[in-house]
Amino acid sequence: MGHAHSHDGPVEYNDVQFGKASPGKIGMWLALGTDALSFSGFLIAYAVLRAGAEGNWPDPVKALGGVELSGFMTFLLICSSVSMVLTIDACKNRDRQGMLNWLLATIIGGMGFLALQVYEYSHLINDMGMTFSTYAHGNDLFASTFFAITGFHGLHVLSGVIYLIVMYVLAYRGDFDNGDYNMLEIAGLFWHFVDLVWILVFTFVYLL
């Protein structure tokens, strides 16, 4: 039983999914748990290699040409997480058009992030002399770990965008018009995970 509040006191409404973990949600949590271990391994490896570089590690801010672009990418993903929350809220309220609009905004946010990441890679490779195995201005391990971590995350963003496009097709044909937001919530769990991981990557790789 969920609760809504008004000036006249609490108003009760039925939400059959409130407080329940469907098999799909449990499966997604398990998948995200194992995925979190993969990202942890990448970040721990980055930290170990950086600590062992004995000062021969480039300043990430300078090596990556500043953090303005990556900062905007972070802002874009955070906004897309907010729009995903609003998608589910619109579904709960059976607001079909609102659900479609917010879900589309989430997809556009993810696609924008990928486009900016492609631009960033192009800049680093062509202008900074940085490839997966070599870096013209510093430690080669910095280049390897940078592309491995951000590329692995980019693959997750691409998977998430494809996932959300499938959800949009289902939403457009009316599968969620009855207010059943379970599948959208499962997709939202994945998308919020992608957002959270990027915040950690941005902090450890770009800022520290």
Give the model confidence (pLDDT) of 151-206 as tens digits. Answer: 999 999 999 999 999 999 999 999 999 988 999 999 999 999 999 999 999 999 88
pLDDT 10s digits, 42-86: 999 999 988 888 778 888 888 887 889 999 999 999 999 999 999
| pLDDT for the residue 7 | 47
pTM of structure? 0.85
C-alpha neighbours within 13 Å on the C-beta side of residue 113 = 31
Q: Can you name the CATH fold of 22-207? A: Four Helix Bundle (Hemerythrin (Met), subunit A) (1.20.120)
| Residue 19: band (very low, low, confident or very high) from pLDDT cuts 50, 70, 90 | low
Give the chain's mean pLDDT. 87
